[in-house]
Every structure is written in C-alpha cells, then in structure tokens.
Chain A
C-alpha cells in the first residue's frame, strides 16, 4: 500500500518535471506579459509625461471614447460575420473532401494553400486585387460592363469591411475545413450505412448524425477562430491600415496606434479589453458548447 503511494507521487513528480518547460515558457511569455499589461493599464505611462498611478482613469477614458466603441463594434461584427462564413465554407469543403473524390489527397493539400501563405503577403495580394487602377476586380467589372466607372473598393466603410471579411474568409477557411475534416473522418461510416437502410435523406443524416457527432470538434474550431478573429491585427494593418476614416480599425489596431504614439497606459487598457473579450468568448463557448459533457 505504502509502496504504491510513493510510486504515484514519484510519477506525479516526473509528470510535473516533464511539463515544467511548458509551464515555465507559458509563465515567461504569457502570464508575466498579461500581468504586466494589466499593471500598465492602471498607470499613466506616456513617454513624455511623468509616470503616475491612475487606478481606473484609463478605463474611465475608455468608456467616454467614442472611437473605442466604434472599434469594439467593428471587431465584434467582424468576428460574427467572418467566423460564420468560415464555418459555412469550411463545413462545405470538409464534407466535400470527406467523400471519395478523385485526387482527394491532392485536393486536401491544395486547399491549405491560402492558410500557409503568411498573412502580410496575402493581405498585400488582396490589396492589389482591390486596387482602384490595376486591380483585377475593377478590370472584370469594366470588361463585363457592370459599371462604366472603376469602384473604389477600399474607399467606403462597407466596401472596406467586406474586403477585410472576404480576405479573412479566404485565408482561414482552410483551417476550419481541415479541423472539421479530422472530426468527420472520426465518425463511424457504418452509422451512415445504417441510416441509409432506414431510408433517411441527406439532410436528415447531416442533422441527426454528422452535426451532433461533429460538435466537439466544431466548438474547438469555432473557439480558435473566434479568439483569433477578435484580436485581428496583421491583415487589417496591411490591407486598409484601419481606414477609411478609422472604420476598419480593430481593437488591436486601436491599441497599437496608442503604443506607437507613446501612450502605453491607454494602449494597455485597450489590450486588456481585448484579453477580457477573448476570455469571455472562450467561457461562453465552453459553457454553451457543453464541452465538459461531451468530453466525458
């Protein structure tokens, strides 16, 4: 009895030891910066002014800042719209690639191409596609006589919003598709055979078998994508720079602009909001995705 006890604690110790590099890395690169940002957000940390402890003054300023709320609104709208589209397309591609198609292996690799292109580069590519003078969109529109004037895609808030969503959906749908595909391939094929014998149609099979069994993977994919989308920075930084007129300025872009201008305190306060929003989102997903139940 006693012997086995010491054995278990020895195992636990080894387990901790094995996990130590990860835990240390997480503390250094995640926990400390997060705490640092929270502390900074409570200070007046402006390069050209003496440092001062403000408590919640930065947050008070945040709540009377119209542009912060515009930025928050844009970010949330972006998360909802782009993640929905990614889910629809991702699921469609996953279902398609799960069938026995010719060149299936090849197609599964090809679909990953947008995902492996670095974001800055794909943002630059899209910028050229939307370009007013040389862009392919305007070329097509003019050639097909849909309009006799080139359209300034990135020039209106709606246009720029759509442009950001399209680029993001193009870029991250493969991620969604691949994760969902792994979920699909784990579903036992016999279930479908049986259902077919029972005379069900495609939609019934999809809603009664595929979706419920895919749910755990679906929730993980949605969680990853939503957290990623809520802190979107690079795509917008390169594609629109937050314009026109600040209409595509996401929370991260908004915070970044304050860092660059030297106000680290206020920028940190915005970052803390991004952090809280991402955290809240995860909690919601886990709660409503009934993650614990499905895991058990």
Chain B
C-alpha cells in the first residue's frame, strides 16, 4: 500500500517536470525586453506584426523596468547556457562583457549571407560598442544621449560653457527664490548609481579628460580634478544644485523637478523632451534643448546610452532570430518606433526622413549630438569600474572627500580591478 502510494506520488512529481519542459513548441523562440508599460506595449505590437508577416512564433517575455534586474536575469540564463532567451536587448555598457563571456552569436555571417548592409547605422557607434575585433555582435535598436534642457521663458540665450551655466543659474535662482523656495539653478543625476558615471564622464570629457584609454588608467588628471571640483561646487559652493543631488537625484527625480517648474537647467536623456511638452507639464512650451555645455577651450560631449539587440549563442532558432533582428532594425520599424514611443532610432538614415523632421524638429539636434558622444569604458569588467567610480564620486559630491582624494582612490581601485580581471 505504502509502496503503491509512493510510486503514484513519484510519477505525479515526474510528470509535472516532463509536462513543464515539453509545454514549449519546438519552433517557438523568445525575446526578453523590459521597460515601461508603453514600451512593452509597443514591442508586443512589433512582435505580433513580425509573427504575422513571417509566420513565426516569437514570444515576448517582459522583464522588469530596472536595468540592473534585466541584466541579472540575462546573466543567469546565459551563464546557465539556456536556449531561452534567443534574443534580448542589451544596454550599451553590457555588450563588451557579453561578447567576452562568449554569450553572443556572431552576426557577421548572417549579415553576409542575407546581404545586410551596416552603412545606414552610425559608424562611430558600431565601432565603439557593437564590434569586437572588427566582428559584428550586436546592432543598435535605440540610441540615447544626454542633453541640456533649459527654460526659454527665463533666459534668452542658453549657455555654451559650464561657467555661463553657473552665472545664469546664480542670477535666475536668486530672482526665482523670491517667489519659489524650492527653485534650483541646475538639476542633474548625482545619486550613487550608473547614471552618475554618465554625468561624471560628461563633465570630465568636456574638460578634455577621460577614464581609461587602451587599458591604461587616465583617471587621476588635472582636467578630471577641475571637472570634479566643479561638480562638487555646484552643490556646496555655488549652491545652484540641491542637497539631495547626491542622495536621490536619478532620471525621474530630476525630470519631475524640472517639469514642476522648479529648475532652470536640467541634464537628462532624450526621453524627457516629450514628457516636458505633454499636457500635464508645468513647463509645456517653455523648454529648449541643446548639447551639454563644455569647459573653456574644450568640446561638448554626451555619454552614449541606448539599447542594442543581440542573439544568444545558445539559441536553438538562430535563422528566425536573425530575421527578427533584420526586421527590428529596418527603416520602417525604426521610423515607427520614434513615432510611437519617441525612442531615437539606431539607424542614421531615419534622421533624414522628411516626414519625421516636420513632426519632430528636435531630431536634427540629436543627429549632431550623436556624432559627439563618448562611450563609457568598453571593457568586460566595466561593472566593477563603474561601482568604484560611483562610490567615490558620490562620496566627493557628499563633501566627504576632496576631488583629488576621490580620483586618487579611484585610480588605486581601478588598477587593482585591472590586475584581477584584466588578464587576457
């Protein structure tokens, strides 16, 4: 009796696993995408159209909104050599690690076989992030840069240099504070997270500085120290950026502050533009945008952001997956993407589209900014370097350590990281 019961239970247990692993059809393949609900809705539509057009069975698996969580789930599946996901979107800073971890399928062969052209894409971007050893591993789906947003009702002429930004902020902040206590000159991302590395890189690169060049650490330089000192001064000396810059200010906090009418300048990604001009915005029609300022005698730059599509090496449906990559990066889908969710196309030729330029005049500015991007260090151990930069720069912004000490500390820790992970 006992034995019989045991056999029945074991069989039930086993069949549960068998059913679970068989429930997927053979020709199914999946793509993992996360983001805001509107974004996921858009992708659902794209995927339905694709399935109808090519008679495929691509399944959308939606991921969390947070970038770190998306990366985490991808790492677990890929490290476990799972056949799912077949396709996924990657943040630009992951691509190098994914390539060097041997997780990405080489796309060069597929491209050659189907006579796929890479000319319509931004060459600078492909070379910076999508190619490794001149081999193609990913393609840009959506690109992003940071911009300076300003209030056209408060100033006539936007600043060209950081010095001018400071002067304007001091003057306007003083005027505005008479009626609005919480008005700040300049809001930007300074909390301890990935966004801080982006702002930091823009400040130092617009003073001619850099973090890493060809595996040698360039962080502890005069240019970087001056730039970091300026960042600290914005909060503690000039007091034109609020105290919570280094504790709370991420993209959305910054956007809300500006959108509520509480700031003159804002550093943010391109997504803020449409939201600032939406009907429930306090600053609708009073917003201008341009490339970020620079220090004297140097050039404006912006950190390159965005999402690229890649194919898993462990995918069991590579031919179909390639079809989808081609579809997503096609002119029509890319154009549709900017029209529906306001994402900036990864293809350069879409920016010259007449209809788009009539509807979205800001695209012209963007095309110029894309040619002046800097990329965060493209090394597989970027996550470790980023953590070191975030922690030390954040400490410096909190006024706990001086800029020169922060940079010295970053240099020591970065060299240590390269010693551990830099082995070829």
A contact set with B: CB distance below 8 Å: 17, 46-49, 61, 131-133, 149-150, 152, 154-156, 241-246, 257, 259-264
CA distance A245 to B397 in the complex (A): 10
Q: Which residues of A contact B381 (CB under 8 A)?
A: 48, 261
Question: A17 CA to B2 CA in the complex, in Å?
Answer: 10
Task: Kindly state the separation between the CA atoms of A150 and B248 in the bound complex, as whole angstroms.
Answer: 13
A155→B421 contact, CB < 8 A: no
Decide: B2 and A244 in contact? CB cutoff 8 A: no
B230-286 contacts to A, CB under 8 A, are: 242-244, 246-248, 257
Of the listed stretches B45-53, B160-168, B297-305, B387-395, chain A binds B387-395
Inter-chain contact A152/B244, CB cutoff 8 Å: yes
Say whether B15 faces chain A, with CB atoms less than 8 Å apart.
no
User: What is the distance, in angstroms, from B13's C-beta to the closest C-beta of chain A?
Assistant: 10
- Contact across chains for A48 and B100 when beta carbons are under 8 A apart: yes
Main secondary structure of the interface of A (DSSP, over half): loop
Contact assessment for A262 and B101 in the assembled complex, using a CB-CB cutoff below 8 Å: yes
Chain A residues in 8 Å Cβ range of B101: 47-48, 262
Tell me which residues across on chain B come within 8 A of A46, comparing CB atoms: 421
- Report chain A residues within 8 Å CB of B246: 155, 244
A-B pairs with beta carbons under 8 Å apart, 20 shown: A47-B78, A47-B97, A48-B380, A132-B247, A132-B248, A133-B182, A133-B244, A152-B243, A154-B248, A155-B247, A155-B398, A242-B192, A244-B192, A244-B394, A245-B398, A260-B68, A260-B71, A261-B384, A262-B75, A262-B97
* B75 cross-chain contacts in A, Cβ below 8 A: 47, 259-260, 262
State whether B380 touches A244 (Cβ < 8 A).
no
Contacts of A131 in B (CB 8 A): 248
Q: How far is the CB of A177 from chain B (nearest CB, A)?
A: 33
Given contacts A48-B100, A245-B398, A261-B383, contact A152 B247 (CB under 8 A): yes
Band of interface residues on B:
35 or more
Q: Chain B's nearest CB lies how many Å from the CB of A135?
A: 10
Which residues of chain A have C-beta atoms less than 8 A from B383's C-beta? Answer: 260-262
B193 at the interface (CB under 8 A from A): yes
Mark out the residues of chain B between 1 and 41 whose CB falls within 8 Å of any chain A CB in the assembled complex: 2
Residues of A within 8 A of B193 (CB): 241
Residues of B within 8 Å of A263, CB to CB, are 384, 421
CB distance from B246 to the nearest CB of A (A): 7
A156 touches B398 (CB 8 A): yes
Q: CB distance A257 to B400 under 8 Å?
A: no
User: A244: which B residues are within 8 A, CB to CB?
Assistant: 192, 246-247, 394-395, 398
Cα–Cα distance between A256 and B11 once the two chains are bound (Å): 37
Given the known inter-chain contacts A260-B72, A260-B75, A262-B383, please indicate yes or no for A49 contacting B421, CB distance below 8 A. yes
**Does B79 lie at the interface of the complex (its beta carbon under 8 Å from any beta carbon of A)?**
yes
Query: Which chain A positions have C-beta within 8 A of B72?
Result: 259-260
B394 and A132 within 8 A (CB): no
Once bound together, how far apart are the Cα atoms of A103 and B2, in whole Å? 49
User: Which A-B residue pairs are the 5 nearest by beta carbons?
Assistant: A261-B383, A132-B244, A48-B380, A155-B247, A47-B101
Chain B residues within 8 Å of A149, by CB: 243
